[in-house]
Amino acid sequence: MTSTTAVTNETINSWADDPKGPVALYLKQRLLPVEGEGGVIFPPTYADIGYNIDTLSDGTKVAMIDSVGSQANRMEPIFKHAPYSELVPQIEIEIHTKDEDDGKKKYVEKRSILDLAHRSADAVVHSSPTLSADMAKAFTALKRHGDARPLCILAPTSLLFGVWDSRGGSGEKRPRLVRSVIRAWNVEPLYAAAQFNSIWKSLDEDQQKALEAEAKAKKTKLSEKGFADAPATFRKVSTAAAAKMTEYRDGSPNPERRVLGGVIANGRIERDITINLVALRAISGEKSEEIRRYLLSLALLAATADIELFLREGCHLRFADERDTWVKVPRRGSPEAIDLSSAKGHDTLLEYARAAAGPFSAKWPQGDKLIHKFDLKAAKQLLAKKGMDEPASE
């Protein structure tokens, strides 16, 4: 891969349409903590297990830093902001309305559909009657006729990042066209300990006795309200997990119960991004060529955008290399480097996307039809409705 192939409109068209074309576009992106190599980073924590760290057969420990689902939820909101906002409909749901402090103004809590974890199949969508009816029709068209056009008009990013209509009548499930995940290699877990010192020692005896009596009457603990010193050396787990993961084991603190203090990555921190062209070319519908090209244009922009890498407290990353090296992956043979990362390459993708969005944008909801209201009654009906089992959150 010594040379890089420029991307043209014809190239993108062939990726979308040619059944003998490449099977995927792929990037392995090297990341670094903002503190530099060897900096401590904090992976996500999960109930009872703590960090998700796998140990390979050679002893290498690999930590999940950001899951596939989490990465999708970080990439999708780029379409709320210019210049990408012009490429998809901007549907919002009003959750509730509150009076401001002065009582003269109303504050409306809203959510963009681009912020919803389950996208067009989210519970909030199903609880918004003016939106759910149209979404149901779009999923039915996809399920019964394989027609992705109605969903492209309402919520194209659902087809981009994957969706499962598990709460709706169709049960339709679509794979991700864009998949991204961040892992750290050869990690060493660290542990933390803390000590909270309260004001308790400064209170007089009468005050202490009064607070102890009140806490007992209210069946609460002084430490929970900040009136007692509280050490933090062991993390809380469920009762079932605590029975197997005791705080001490063989006379020493049990690492499985220690408060987590991040990890040091002695190996690489890598973000793997894949655009699945096989899944893309399987999408059909009225004028399916238009659908595939439109979705591919969105996928290319989402995958090549420099998303923010402040993933959580204690996990602030940056891109290590000046420029990314994307490759197109053929069915056989060696991958070939392609230019998706230069300013010229980005301009080509954006202009292509603007043209590809044209046949759909003319039918997007406009004005008041972009705003829908969450309905508590509909939400209660959804609770009573029998649906499919949800997969574990990624």
Q: What single string gives the DSSP state of each residue in 68-84?
A: HHHHHHHHGGGGGSTTG
Residue 2 has pLDDT above 60, yes or no: no
Q: In the numeric block, which tokens belong to residue 245? A: 């993961």
Per the CB < 8 A criterion, the answer to whether 133 and 372 are in contact is no
Q: What pLDDT was estimated at residue 231?
A: 76
pLDDT, tens digit (0-9, with 9 covering 90-100), for 114-133: 999 999 999 999 999 999 99
Q: What pLDDT was estimated at residue 228?
A: 86
Residue 151 has pLDDT above 80, yes or no: yes
CA–CA separation, 90 and 267 (whole Å): 41
Lowest mean pLDDT among 11-15, 296-300, 363-367, 382-386: 382-386
Q: Write down the pTM of the prediction.
A: 0.87
CA distances from 232 to 52, 240, 248, 347 (A): 21, 21, 14, 52
DSSP three-state, residue 353: helix
Band of pLDDT at residue 394, cut at 50, 70 and 90: very low
Tell me the residue type at 340. L
CA–CA separation, 74 and 271 (whole Å): 13
CA–CA separation, 242 and 132 (whole Å): 42
> What integer is the mean pLDDT of 136-163?
95
Q: In the numeric block, which tokens belong to residue 358? A: 């044209």
pLDDT, tens digit (0-9, with 9 covering 90-100), for 293-343: 999 999 999 999 999 999 999 999 999 999 999 999 999 999 999 999 899
CA–CA separation, 62 and 357 (whole Å): 40
Per the CB < 8 A criterion, the answer to whether 182 and 269 are in contact is yes
Written in H, E and C, the secondary structure of 143-162 is: HHHCECHHHHHHCHHHHHHC
CA atoms within 13 A on the CB side of 360: 30
CA atoms within 13 A on the CB side of 49: 9
Residue 393 has pLDDT above 60, yes or no: no
Q: What pLDDT was estimated at residue 389?
A: 56
Per the CB < 8 A criterion, the answer to whether 314 and 42 are in contact is yes
Q: Is the peptide bond before 83 cis (omega within 30 degrees of 0)?
A: yes
CA–CA separation, 200 and 209 (whole Å): 11
Close Cβ partners of 21 (under 8 Å, ≥ 6 residues apart): 14, 15, 277, 281
pLDDT, tens digit (0-9, with 9 covering 90-100), for 189-247: 999 888 778 898 999 999 999 999 999 999 998 988 889 887 788 888 899 988 888 98
Q: Which residue has the tokens 């809380």?
A: 236
Per the CB < 8 A criterion, the answer to whether 25 and 275 are in contact is yes
Q: What pLDDT was estimated at residue 104?
A: 67
Q: What pLDDT was estimated at residue 7?
A: 93
Complete edge-to-edge strand list for the sheet that includes strand 40-41: 40-41, 259-265, 187-192
pLDDT, tens digit (0-9, with 9 covering 90-100), for 344-378: 999 999 999 999 999 999 999 999 999 999 999 99
DSSP three-state, residue 28: strand
pLDDT, tens digit (0-9, with 9 covering 90-100), for 42-91: 999 999 999 999 999 999 999 999 999 999 999 999 999 999 999 999 99
